[in-house]
Copies of this chain bind each other. A is one copy, B any other.
């Protein structure tokens, strides 16, 4: 048994299949993928990686299994899945997911292929574990998959606490000790025991507060959009392909962007934090349904149109249209007076939080600092934004949340 020191959970004890999996290249690679992608542009100390997060998820899974009285091979399988759950991530964590998906036709759940080959498969089999079944757990399938990937999974518990610790933003500070202790299986469903409506709500609220402050901070969004755009050009330039990209770590991608003449400018801007600024920052009500439903090709065309209308380089307009807000935690289950209920049916807060997410939703159009005026005007017209619904008459909301270096 080994003990690894973690800045969040102190000592994490690793043994069995997990100890061997740690040494595989696939898991070691996670040391070079930062947990929050471009978020360090806003929170400079948020340089934690998927590796330590994976250890944390393994640790909480272990505690949950012990409280639930689950052991033997089932438990080993869950532990393996907890440690491996992020191995499918490309560089910069979630930042490039949609891009990789579009280019490979597959989502980050190509996890079955990953675990079925190479050293990981060898280790799993040596411990009598079927890689397929471990991959199922990573995808959240089956009774125990809920522990790894579901509304009440230990992944969520670790990242909220860890992201709070490393950003310095106090809002993610949930009581993970209590959450893990109160998990139960009832009729095959993972639920929180009686008396925990508020515990479930606290999980929901933690994410609701972390979303605008950290995960969707506009500087994180802008840099992410620029990274995505640069990476897309890298693919178009033939400097890499989607299969190779998916297996890169943050370092490979950074250097690849610098080395390719067509993306060097993006790399230079990211390296020096010389980011685009918001030309438009529009609320949900200002955005037509067509625009919300637009596919990737349509958006690229719109960007080109806006650039042309604004008289700027095509590369100097980036549209960033998030999906409609949703709250996965709203379906988490809690026991109330003996019955299992969905949190959304039990908690008045769920609807409120959904509305808040809606209020906080923003379409962004980004451009170099000296082009935001033209691009803003052009985007407004071409995207058919409802002027009156814009949060301010200058197309860009001036109400930035915490800014590093006051970059609007």
Band of interface residues on A: 35 or more
| A269 CB, min distance to chain B CBs, angstroms | 11
Task: Please choose the segment from A70-78, A106-114, A233-241, A343-351 that sits at the chain B interface, where 4 or more of its residues have CB less than 8 A away.
Answer: A343-351
Q: A7 to B165, Cβ gap below 8 A?
A: yes
Q: A392 to B337, Cβ gap below 8 A?
A: yes
Please give me the residue from chain B that is nearest to A171 by CB atom: B202
Interface flag for A265 (CB, 8 Å): no
Q: B165 to A175, Cβ gap below 8 A?
A: no
| A286 CB, min distance to chain B CBs, angstroms | 14
| A19 CB, min distance to chain B CBs, angstroms | 7
| A203 CB, min distance to chain B CBs, angstroms | 11
Q: CB-CB contacts of A204-244 with B at 8 A, as 1s and 0s?
A: 01000100110000000000000000000000000000000
* A6 interface neighbour in B44, B175, B213, Cβ under 8 Å: B44
When A25-B272, A173-B173 are in contact, do A404 and B2 touch as well, CB less than 8 Å? yes
| A362 CB, min distance to chain B CBs, angstroms | 13
Q: B205 to A271, Cβ gap below 8 A?
A: no
Interface flag for A356 (CB, 8 Å): yes
- The quantity of this chain's copies bound in the complex is 4
Interface hits, A1-60 → B, CB 8 Å:
2-8, 10-11, 14, 19, 22-25, 28-29, 31-32, 34, 40, 43-49, 51-52, 55
| A351 CB, min distance to chain B CBs, angstroms | 7
Interface flag for A309 (CB, 8 Å): no
Q: CB-CB contacts of A267-291 with B at 8 A, as 1s and 0s?
A: 0000111100000000000000000
Q: B25 to A404, Cβ gap below 8 A?
A: no
Q: In whole angstroms, how far apart are the Cα atoms of A43 and B49 in the complex? A: 12
Interface flag for A153 (CB, 8 Å): no
Question: What are 13 inter-chain pairs, A to B, with CB distance below 8 A?
Answer: A4-B44, A5-B168, A7-B46, A23-B274, A44-B55, A47-B49, A170-B174, A195-B399, A195-B400, A197-B399, A348-B352, A349-B353, A352-B353
Please give me the residue from chain B that is nearest to A198 by CB atom: B212
Please give me the residue from chain B that is nearest to A259 by CB atom: B255
Q: In whole angstroms, how far apart are the Cα atoms of A201 and B23 in the complex? A: 32
Residues on the B chain within 8 Å of A165, using CB: 7
| A207 CB, min distance to chain B CBs, angstroms | 12
Residues on the B chain within 8 Å of A117, using CB: none
| A42 CB, min distance to chain B CBs, angstroms | 8
Q: A337 to B6, Cβ gap below 8 A?
A: no
